[in-house]
Amino acid sequence: MAGTLVVGFVFVDIKGFALADYVPKGRNLGNIRFIHGGVSRNVAENIANCGMPVMFASLSEDTAIGRDVVRRLQSAGVDVTYMRPVEENGIGTWMVILDENGDVAGQISCPPDRVALETLVMERGEEMIRQCDNIILEIDTSPIIDETVLALAKKYHKPVYTVVGNMSIILLRRDFLADLDCFVCNEIEAARLFECDLTDAVPCEMYEFISKHAPSIGCRSMVVTMGERGAVYYDTEQEKGGIVSAIPTALVDSTGAGDAFLSGLVMGLSRGHTLEQSVRIGTMLASKTIATTESCAPPDHSFLYSF
């Protein structure tokens, strides 16, 4: 089994954990941790931690942090053949403040140099896509990367799933959605995509909405995550879907939950599970992630075999 190819960036997360009620304009005592992160990097590690084969196409740096990032991925079992080291700006930085409940209170992101990743994808994209089973693409990094990966995936008949960044490219290039096997987003991103207010929608209302409107975006299936309210899914080809409840979990850190959910979803689909079963797998992996201060779920090679 060749496994999943993940295309995207590495970030180092600087996380501040408030020890008491967080005051946005005040001084807050807490803990500060530096954690390996980045949506795509998290997804690659999550998949490897579950014992599934995964390749990561990304950038790194010949620095202490860069070498540590690569070393950790290798130790988890990630194939780093397509990680290209660059002299500078190969790794992004994400600063996040978490309030006393573990929820995000504020964040700032400094992205890495996308040109080097564009070059990597254009030079070696055909080689790596030809040998993988499916692809997880971090859309919103670069239209050049998106166009190249999607065209090659279509050429070699490889299913594509997406990691949503900031929605900017998706909103400009909605045609990309037709090339995705499943589009996963949260309720805020769904509202931006459909240009409507879904703030107060409960899961049954969200399901009614996407079952009606998901076919209009063109992709084969859609999943909307709703945090502690669970997730809603709809298969546009089979014209059916449903709601999966969240798993009650003591929240430590909410960051990385969406990345874990997508990881579990894609692993489920790649093992031949239904969309509903795969959403349940993603929900379980997300619940494991929010119970830790890390951005990934802890290693568990038996996890997928319970389904």
Q: How confident is the model at residue 307 (pLDDT cuts 50, 70, 90)?
A: low
Give percent of the chain above pLDDT 70.
99
Domain that holds residue 250: 4-19+34-306
| Mean per-residue pLDDT, 3-16 | 92
Residues 125, 62, 56, 219: is their CA dihedral positive or negative?
negative
| Counted domains in the chain | 1
Which range is least confidently modeled, 148-162, 172-186, 214-228, 287-301?
287-301
Residue 37 has pLDDT above 90, yes or no: no
Residue 1 has pLDDT above 70, yes or no: no
The answer to whether residue 25 sits within a structural domain is no
| Mean per-residue pLDDT, 102-123 | 91
Residue 62 or residue 57, greater confidence:
57
Distance CA 121, CA 115 (A): 10
pLDDT tens digit sequence for 172-209 = 999 999 999 999 999 999 999 999 999 889 999 999 99
Query: What pLDDT score was predicted for residue 297?
Result: 86
Asked if 69 contacts 10 with a C-beta cutoff of 8 angstroms, the reply is yes
Mean pLDDT, the chain, integer: 92
Query: What pLDDT score was predicted for residue 306?
Result: 67
| Mean per-residue pLDDT, 58-80 | 94
The answer to whether residue 273 sits within a structural domain is yes
Give percent of the chain above pLDDT 90.
70
Q: How confident is the model at residue 274 (pLDDT cuts 50, 70, 90)?
A: very high
Beta-strand relationship, 134-139 and 4-7: parallel
3-state helix, strand, coil in the chain (%, to 5): 40, 25, 35
Query: What pLDDT score was predicted for residue 184?
Result: 95
Q: How confident is the model at residue 294 (pLDDT cuts 50, 70, 90)?
A: confident
| Mean per-residue pLDDT, 68-83 | 96
CA atoms within 13 A on the CB side of 68: 10
Residue 301 has pLDDT above 80, yes or no: no
Beta-strand relationship, 231-235 and 221-225: antiparallel
The answer to whether residue 202 sits within a structural domain is yes
The answer to whether residue 26 sits within a structural domain is no
Residue 81 has pLDDT above 80, yes or no: yes
Q: How confident is the model at residue 167 (pLDDT cuts 50, 70, 90)?
A: confident
Q: Is 145 exposed, middle or buried (0-12, 13-18, 19+ CB in 10 A)?
A: buried
- State the DSSP H helix or E strand holding residue 160, giving kind and residue range, or none if neither: strand 160-164
pLDDT tens digit sequence for 116-165 = 999 999 999 999 999 999 999 988 778 899 999 999 999 999 999 997 77
The answer to whether residue 29 sits within a structural domain is no
Token code pair at residue 263: 């990881």
* CB contact set of 162 (below 8 Å; sequence gap of 6+): 136, 137, 138, 139, 180, 183, 184
Distance CA 185, CA 188 (A): 8
The answer to whether residue 267 sits within a structural domain is yes
The answer to whether residue 159 sits within a structural domain is yes
CATH, residue 231: 3.40.1190.20
Distance of CA 272 to the CA centre of its chain: 20
The answer to whether residue 64 sits within a structural domain is yes
Query: What pLDDT score was predicted for residue 278?
Result: 96
Query: What pLDDT score was predicted for residue 269?
Result: 95
- State the DSSP H helix or E strand holding residue 287, giving kind and residue range, or none if neither: helix 275-289
Query: What pLDDT score was predicted for residue 305?
Result: 72
Q: How confident is the model at residue 299 (pLDDT cuts 50, 70, 90)?
A: confident
Token code pair at residue 84: 């290209």
